């Protein structure tokens, strides 16, 4: 009788222990009874179930990562590119996730991967290589995340948090074609800049020449005016001096002419004795 009570106590303890379960932080849980879902939204904490009849399945609520190997896609021009990408995802609906994958994370990744690849394939097929090089990567990842998130939530109970393209590699033949086109475009841009600069330089030079001509013309005009004023003042001074003593003025001019004519001591003049030029040599009263 005593052994029976001991056995009964052990059974009750086991049943009590089996009737309680704990959901850890960062997890959620689902209660199953004979494979049928009883409840799918248990949060962290202590919970209870019917022992022996019900089972608990726990799910990781953290953000998980799908890091797929590089995949080859074709652009709208039928040029191939190798795309390396990764996906951040988490379980959004425990019941749908369980029905689609039986709670197997590996199976979930296997089913999520083709959904993401199909979205990437569609986006790459609708763009040219030039658009990808020019910066279409961000638009692609945004659209792929939106499309795959809707499909994954509906079919797998998975929320796609983020899609990122780590790198886009071009095959050798495509790379050479792209580099040639890029060089041609840069050469064309450089020529346009040179032509623009040359045109601007010629315009600046022409404007400088015009301004120089204007400045020279103004300077020559001012110089001519100053020379004219000087000549007028000199003439006025000569006239005033001549008016004070005309005879002395005539004598002084004759002396200057004599000095200039006989400066080298070798000059020879053939004149009449009564020539006006020699009047101060012949007329002693005028010396």
Segments making up each domain of the chain, as ranges: 2-60, 64-170, 186-221, 246-286
pLDDT for residue 286: 47
Measured CA distances, 194 to 26, 209, 220 (Å): 63, 22, 38
Q: List, in sequence order, the alpha helices (H) in the chain.
A: 2-19, 94-101, 105-125, 129-133, 137-156, 172-244, 246-261, 279-282
Do the beta carbons of residue 44 and residue 14 sit within 8 Å? no
pLDDT for residue 149: 94
pLDDT in tens, the chain (287 residues): 667 666 555 555 555 556 778 888 888 888 888 878 888 888 888 888 878 788 888 898 899 999 888 888 888 888 888 888 999 999 999 999 999 998 899 999 999 999 999 999 998 888 887 777 776 677 888 899 999 999 999 999 999 999 998 888 876 665 566 667 778 888 888 888 888 888 888 888 888 888 888 888 888 888 888 888 888 888 777 777 767 766 667 666 766 766 666 666 666 666 666 666 666 665 554 44
The answer to whether the Cα torsion of 266, 271, 273, 276 is positive or negative is negative
How far is it, in rounded angstroms, from Cα 68 to Cα 171? 19
Count of CA atoms in the C-beta half-sphere (13 A) of 109: 12
Global confidence as pTM? 0.55
Write down the CATH number for the domain with range 64-170: 3.30.479.30
Q: Which residues pair with 90 in a beta bridge?
A: 159
How far is it, in rounded angstroms, from Cα 133 to Cα 236? 86
Q: Tell me, what DSSP letter sits at residue 274?
A: T
How far is it, in rounded angstroms, from Cα 70 to Cα 87? 13
pLDDT for residue 140: 86
């Amino acid at each position: 009788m005593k052994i029976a009570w001991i056995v009964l106590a052990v059974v009750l303890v086991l049943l009590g222990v089996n009737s309680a379960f704990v959901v850890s932080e960062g997890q959620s849980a689902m209660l199953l009874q004979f494979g049928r879902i009883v409840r799918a939204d248990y949060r962290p904490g202590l919970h209870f179930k019917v022992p022996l009849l019900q089972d608990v399945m726990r799910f990781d609520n953290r953000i998980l990562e799908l890091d797929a190997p590089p995949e080859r896609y074709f652009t709208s021009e039928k040029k191939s590119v190798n795309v390396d990408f990764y996906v951040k995802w988490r379980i959004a609906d425990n019941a749908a996730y369980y029905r689609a994958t039986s709670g197997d994370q590996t199976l979930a990744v296997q089913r999520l991967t083709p959904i993401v690849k199909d979205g990437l394939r569609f986006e790459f097929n609708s763009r040219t290589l030039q658009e990808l090089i020019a910066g279409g990567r961000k638009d692609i990842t945004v659209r792929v995340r939106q499309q795959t998130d809707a499909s994954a939530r509906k079919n797998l109970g998975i929320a796609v948090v983020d899609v990122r393209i780590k790198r886009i590699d071009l095959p050798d033949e495509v790379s050479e074609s792209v580099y040639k086109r890029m060089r041609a475009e840069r050469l064309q841009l450089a020529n346009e800049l040179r032509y623009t600069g040359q045109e601007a330089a010629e315009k600046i030079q022409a404007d400088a020449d015009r301004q120089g001509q204007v400045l020279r013309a103004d300077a020559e005009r001012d110089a001519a005016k100053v020379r004219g004023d000087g000549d007028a003042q000199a003439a006025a001074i000569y006239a005033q001096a001549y008016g004070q003593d005309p005879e002395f003025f005539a004598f002084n001019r004759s002396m200057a002419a004599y000095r200039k004519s006989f400066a080298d001591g070798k000059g020879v003049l053939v004149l009449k004795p009564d020539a006006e030029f020699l009047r101060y040599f012949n007329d002693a009263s005028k010396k």
